[in-house]
Each structure stands twice: as C-alpha cells, then as structure tokens.
C-alpha cells in the first residue's frame, strides 16, 4: 500500500490496522503530512499545519501501543479541525488573519479535547470563510474544490470538507449554522453530519449564532462519521 492509499483508507479500517500493528501512528501521520505538503498548495485546505505537534502525538501513540495501554476509539488517527476551534498553543484565526493574527489560545475546545482523548492526532487547522460567514478573507488563498479547482468547495467549513474528501486528514470537524457542514460536504463528495443541537459540545468554539450552531464530523463514509461522533 502506498502513502496515498493509506491517506484514503477509511477511519474505521485505519483504527483496526493500527491496533493490529499493520500500520503505525507515525506511518499514518507521516503519510498525511507528506500528502498535505504535496496536495494542499493546489486546494488550500489548511490555514495552519502543526507538523511537530502531530509527530510528537504520533510518537506518544506508538509508545502507548508498545506499552499495551488502553487505547481510545481513534488511537493514532490523523484528524484536523476547522479554524474556529480553540487549540492550546496553536493559532486560531477563525479565517480572519488580520483581526486574529496573534490569537493563540491557552486552552483547547472540548470537542477537540475529546478527539485527542480518544487518541486522534491533530494535524492542524482548516480553512474557513471569515468568522464562518460568507466569504474567505482576501489575505488567505481561497479554498478550492478538490475535484475541480475552478469550483467552490462550499462553506463555511470549506477546508474541513475538502481535506476529508481529498485525503488530507482521515476525518475532520466542522460547524453548521445554516448548512455549513452539509453544503461543503455535498459539494466535495464527502459525508457531513449535523447532529442534534447540543449533542456535541460547542465549548471553546467561536460562535456565529449560538442558538443555531452545531459541531459535527466530515468524513469519507457514514461509518467513519458515526465513529467520530461516538467519541463526543
């Protein structure tokens, strides 16, 4: 299996193979980082790639396997999140590089914490329309549909959808206020789930409209979406 095949493997299958010792967390993360470096300049899915953070987390995941510790449901799986989730020590700009250019939170959003507690490895922060509203900030490279570069990937969770669809992360998190998970997932050929309101914590997530905002997964299959939702 080449690295691109590994990047397109389902999350459910990747979890099983990591547990079986057929794939290591470092192999999975390195494959993702290599693909991001090669493919993302064309599609602009990431605003921040946290390569060292991801590699450190992958090494810890390998140590847990070697020591036969209890493993989480997403152990060693490379994931990424929309850039409105707070992430400790990692930039969170909400797609607004001028206003929030220096915003580096000291805490992590609950939904992201739960991914990491389940063993997932955070690759970085994904492109989005500015403050989850209508358009990408002119100082950022606009996200591109992975299947047709002249087409929009949809929004506001544009990076979350295109990263999942094009193998730049095994699974991603987005937010949905007025179709912001569902629309980009549909336009990019991915699976986007808008859970029941309040099902997934919005603690540490930049609000657009608190009574409408939902947090949910974008993946390449229904089974993968169910697995990611399960850890929340």
Q: How many CB atoms lie within 10 A of CB 154?
A: 23
- Provide the domain count of the chain: 1
Answer yes or no: 125 catalytic: no
At 69, is the pLDDT very low, low, confident or very high (cuts 50, 70, 90)? very high
Answer yes or no: 166 catalytic: no
Residue 72's domain is classified under what CATH number?
3.90.1300.10
- Catalytic entry in 32, 160, 166, 180: 180
Mean pLDDT of all residues in 44-49: 98
Answer yes or no: 135 catalytic: no
Does residue 3 register a pLDDT over 90? no
The pairing of strands 46-49 and 78-82 is unpaired
Residue-wise pLDDT tens digits, 155-213: 999 999 999 999 999 999 999 999 999 999 999 999 999 999 999 999 999 999 999 99
Which residues on neighbouring strands pair with residue 219, listed in sequence order? 191
Does residue 1 register a pLDDT over 70? no
Domain that holds residue 38: 3-230
At 35, is the pLDDT very low, low, confident or very high (cuts 50, 70, 90)? very high
Q: Are 201 and 215 in contact (CB under 8 A)?
A: yes
Does residue 36 register a pLDDT over 80? yes
Whole-model pTM?
Answer: 0.96
Q: Are 11 and 167 in contact (CB under 8 A)?
A: no
Does residue 118 register a pLDDT over 80? yes
Q: What local confidence, expressed as pLDDT, does residue 134 receive?
A: 84
Mean of the per-residue pLDDT values of the chain: 96
Per-residue H/E/C for the chain: CCHHHHHHCCHHHHHHHHHHCCCCHHHHHHHHHHHHHHHHHHHCCEEEECHHHHHHHHHHHHHHHHCCCCCCCCCCCEEEEECCECCCCCCCCCCCCCCCCCCCCCCCCHHHHHHHHCCCEEEEEECCCHHHCCCCCCCCCCCCECCECCCCCCCCCHHHHHHHHCCCCCEEEEEECCCCCHHHHHHHCCEECCCCCCCCCCCCECCCCCCCCEEEEEECCHHHHHHHHHCC
- Catalytic entry in 156, 157, 160, 170: 156
Does residue 104 register a pLDDT over 90? yes
Mean pLDDT of all residues in 26-41: 98
- Catalytic entry in 32, 82, 157, 166: 82
């Amino acid at each position: 299996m080449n690295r691109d095949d590994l990047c397109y493997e389902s999350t459910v299958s990747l979890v099983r193979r990591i547990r079986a010792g057929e794939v290591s967390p470092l192999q999975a993360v390195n494959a993702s980082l290599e693909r991001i470096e090669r493919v993302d300049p064309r599609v602009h899915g990431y605003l921040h790639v946290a390569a060292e953070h991801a590699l450190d987390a992958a090494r810890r995941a390998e140590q847990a396997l070697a020591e036969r510790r209890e493993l989480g449901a997403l152990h060693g799986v490379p994931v990424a999140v929309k850039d409105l989730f707070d992430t400790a020590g990692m930039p969170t700009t909400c797609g607004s590089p001028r206003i929030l250019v220096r915003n580096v939170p000291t805490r992590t959003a609950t939904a992201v914490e739960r991914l990491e507690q389940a063993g997932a490895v955070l690759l970085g922060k994904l492109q989005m329309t500015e403050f989850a509203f209508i358009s990408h900030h002119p100082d950022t490279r606009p996200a591109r549909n992975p299947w047709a570069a002249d087409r929009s990937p949809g929004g506001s969770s544009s990076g979350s959808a295109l990263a999942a669809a094009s193998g730049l992360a095994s699974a991603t998190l987005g937010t949905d206020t007025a179709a912001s998970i569902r629309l980009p997932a549909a336009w990019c050929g991915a699976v986007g789930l808008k859970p029941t309101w309040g099902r997934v914590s919005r603690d540490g997530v930049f609000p657009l409209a608190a009574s409408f905002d939902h947090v949910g997964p974008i993946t390449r299959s229904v089974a993968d979406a169910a697995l990611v939702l399960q850890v929340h």
